[in-house]
Structure 1
């Protein structure tokens, strides 16, 4: 569908410094689906990189705003969204580990839910860290705004691109990106 890139297309566009095109996302339901795909890709890559349930390691590889600003799709606000997503996923890992300490069982890694609250000019996302009975999902609540959505989607895509290309890699990320890109579904 025009103006609604797949997760793979969005991550490839960020990596190639191409413009992200989200003009086809015009409602809350579609916004939630697009962001859910990006969140699921982030969780897949972190699992592949053996960083699932490692909050300190997740923060170590994803908490530098300069990591996101190197992409043309990112500006200061988009980098902030990427950092917030990094912190949310790190908190998800910490809460999962705590739940394990209490119950003796780890919840599913993809049990993370994010709720995006949009009112007027601002949009924030609040973590609903663990939903052991549910699945990976992002929901958009409140007024839908295309500009806000595009910034949040670009932040999610920059986060995924960064962890695909730069986890434990000493070069410029090209080799790791191509190897790990297969995990972005």
Structure 2
């Protein structure tokens, strides 16, 4: 008995393999993001239990340092130390120590800080660290050009600054404009 390849079956099999490959590729980023958040949460619990520098995974070069929330917006994010591009892929990142003085936290506009487009002066912001919780109220919002404006950090200050790219609906990422929200102790 001689076997011949049926072109329709061969084409259907090739399409099925291609579809499975595309589905797996599309699921990879959300699955990786979900797992990353679970690992960050576990590391945050270890930080709260007194383990300094609890890394979410063995090769991580950061650890969670705070928990940021804006209740009216439903925003609740862990904050990691150091604002490298790699860290910002996983969570908002602290550009400054969260232990005192002015605090600057940055995150991507289309993921972790997407809700900031709806922030309003007067909104409550909480920042919980291993040493306690601080409450802030948003006082001011503005768009700045990062090419000609620097954020001023006062080590003895008490301001919380949240920074993300702007505009929120930009087609391409990485422009020079930034959405800056300032908050003072409530």
Pick the TM interval, shorter chain: under 0.3
Q: Indicate the structure whose relative CO is greater, using CA pairs within 8 Å and at least 6 residues apart.
A: 1
Question: What TM-score, normalized to structure 2?
Answer: 0.22
Structure whose CA Rg is larger: 2
